[in-house]
């Protein structure tokens, strides 16, 4: 079993308009409502590959009901902690004429002390039956900044491999719990290091430091440039095929899912890297986050270059 945890789930609403104008009445031409949040995007990719997945996290109110009912209608197994306040909506407004994208993200619910205690129990229960526990996304209000550190320790105590994809303090305050896998992107790494620019040397230094701390797999994703990967201290550079991306949002989630699949299936390391980079590139050519075509992934796998960094 692989479990994904999304602490700040969302309904991802996409509004397509021929033209979006401020200070005017805007009518929506086409609308898409998806259960979202980064762990849910990971679940979608895992489900595409028929892996046994449980989707968990916090859900609340009518939006929470929408999220769970959508997952059920797609045959997803879920096991959420219900919260008192409403799960959030994230709005993406796409102006087709000017090719401009505007995002409006709600803050989401404030989690109570009781609800947080319920989540720790849920993670204890799910990690006892999961080989991999994937923690993705930002922390909702009400949780301590080291919330992931608590959950990672619980999951590790039960013998699960832990994956963490988050940013800011949620990331920096959780590294002492030594997750098995982390995947910052370049911006998240700049933020962590407090730098405006990153050299390759900076990236390799921090990867080596994290590896020496005991983090087994470190992926620094670099958008269309691919990724640097440190795997038990051995570093690789991976480059995706040259494709025409239509939506880079959620490519990182696809990369996490791809690595989890490779690790769950115990593929050789280079195959794990090729597969996950192919999955993330396949995600870049889909409009919906969490959507990948198995045929595109198969096509891309042999087009990914992986080189060890000496």
Residues forming beta bridges with residue 236, ordered by sequence position: 229, 308
Q: Which does 248 bind (CB under 5 to 8 A by kind): Mg ion, ligand ATP, none?
A: ligand ATP
Q: Which does 280 bind (CB under 5 to 8 A by kind): Mg ion, ligand ATP, none?
A: ligand ATP
Q: Which does 151 bind (CB under 5 to 8 A by kind): Mg ion, ligand ATP, none?
A: none
| Residue 251 engages ligand ATP in binding (rule: CB under 6 A) | yes
How many Cβ atoms from other residues are within 10 Å of residue 205's Cβ? 12
Residues 6+ apart with CB under 8 A from 202: 193, 195
Rounded to a whole number of angstroms, the minimum distance from the CB of residue 45 to Mg ion is: 13
Reduced to 3 states, what is the DSSP secondary structure of residue 119?
helix
Footprint of ligand ATP on 284-303 (CB under 6 A): 284
Pick the stretch among 5-13, 116-124, 239-247, 249-257 that binds Mg ion (CB under 5 A).
Answer: 249-257
Q: Between 212 and 241, how does the x/- string for binding to ligand ATP read (CB under 6 A)?
A: ---------xxxx-xx------------x-
Query: What secondary structure, in 3-state letters, does 86-111 show?
Result: CCEEEEEEEECCCCEEEEEECCCCEC
Nearer to ligand ATP, 203 or 255 (CB): 255
| Residue 262 engages Mg ion in binding (rule: CB under 5 A) | no
Q: Which does 277 bind (CB under 5 to 8 A by kind): Mg ion, ligand ATP, none?
A: ligand ATP
| Residue 281 engages ligand ATP in binding (rule: CB under 6 A) | yes
Q: Between 197 and 236, how does the x/- string for binding to Mg ion read (CB under 5 A)?
A: ----------------------------------------
Q: Which residue is nearest to Mg ion (CB)?
A: 252
- C-alpha to C-alpha distances, 194 to 50, 167, 221, 300, nearest whole angstrom: 40, 13, 18, 35
| 119 within 8 A of 154, measured Cβ to Cβ | no
| Residue 253 engages ligand ATP in binding (rule: CB under 6 A) | yes
Nearer to Mg ion, 20 or 135 (CB): 135
Q: Give the interface size with ligand ATP as a residue count (CB under 6 A).
A: 21
How many Cβ atoms from other residues are within 10 Å of residue 45's Cβ? 30
From candidates 63, 185, 247, 291, binder to ligand ATP by CB under 6 A: 185
| 95 within 8 A of 28, measured Cβ to Cβ | no
DSSP calls for 186-246: HHHHHHHHT-SS--HHHHHHHHHHHHHHT--EEEEE-GGG-EEEEETTEEEEEE------S
Place of tokens 């259960």: 35
| Residue 137 engages Mg ion in binding (rule: CB under 5 A) | no
Footprint of ligand ATP on 139-178 (CB under 6 A): none
The CA angle 251-252-255, to the nearest 5 degrees, is 90
Place of tokens 């550190």: 149
| Residue 252 engages Mg ion in binding (rule: CB under 5 A) | yes
Element housing 6 (H / E): strand 2-6
Q: Which residue is nearest to ligand ATP (CB)?
A: 252
**Residue ranges binding Mg ion (CB under 5 A):** 252
**Residue ranges binding ligand ATP (CB under 6 A):** 185, 221-224, 226-227, 240, 243, 245, 248-253, 255, 277, 280-281, 284
């Amino acid at each position: 079993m692989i479990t994904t945890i999304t602490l700040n789930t969302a309904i991802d609403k996409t509004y397509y308009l021929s033209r979006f104008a401020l200070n005017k009445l805007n009518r929506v031409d086409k609308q898409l409502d998806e259960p979202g949040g980064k762990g849910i995007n990971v679940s979608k990719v895992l489900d595409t590959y028929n892996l046994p997945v449980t989707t968990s996290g916090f859900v609340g109110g009518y939006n929470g009901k929408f999220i769970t009912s959508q997952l059920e209608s797609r045959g997803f197994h879920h096991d959420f902690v219900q919260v008192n306040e409403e799960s959030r909506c994230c709005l993406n407004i796409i102006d087709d004429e000017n090719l401009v994208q505007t995002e409006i993200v709600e803050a989401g619910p404030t989690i109570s002390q009781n609800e947080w205690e319920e989540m720790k129990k849920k993670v204890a229960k799910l990690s006892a039956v999961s080989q991999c526990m994937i923690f993705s996304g930002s922390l909702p209000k009400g949780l301590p900044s080291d919330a992931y550190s608590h959950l990672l320790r619980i999951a590790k105590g039960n013998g699960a491999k832990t994956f963490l994809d988050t940013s800011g303090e949620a990331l920096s305050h959780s590294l002492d719990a030594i997750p098995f896998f982390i995947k910052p992107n370049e911006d998240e790494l700049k933020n962590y290091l407090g730098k405006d620019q990153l050299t390759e040397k900076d990236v390799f230094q921090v990867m080596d430091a994290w590896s020496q701390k005991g983090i087994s797999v470190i992926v620094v994703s670099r958008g269309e440039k691919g990724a640097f990967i440190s795997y038990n201290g051995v570093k690789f550079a991976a480059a995706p095929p040259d494709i025409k991306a239509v939506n880079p949002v959620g490519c990182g989630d696809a990369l996490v899912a791809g690595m989890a699949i490779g690790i769950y299936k115990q593929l050789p390391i280079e195959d794990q890297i090729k597969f996950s980079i192919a999955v993330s590139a396949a995600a870049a050519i889909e409009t919906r986050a969490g959507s990948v075509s198995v045929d595109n992934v198969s096509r891309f796998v042999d087009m990914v270059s992986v080189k060890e960094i000496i």
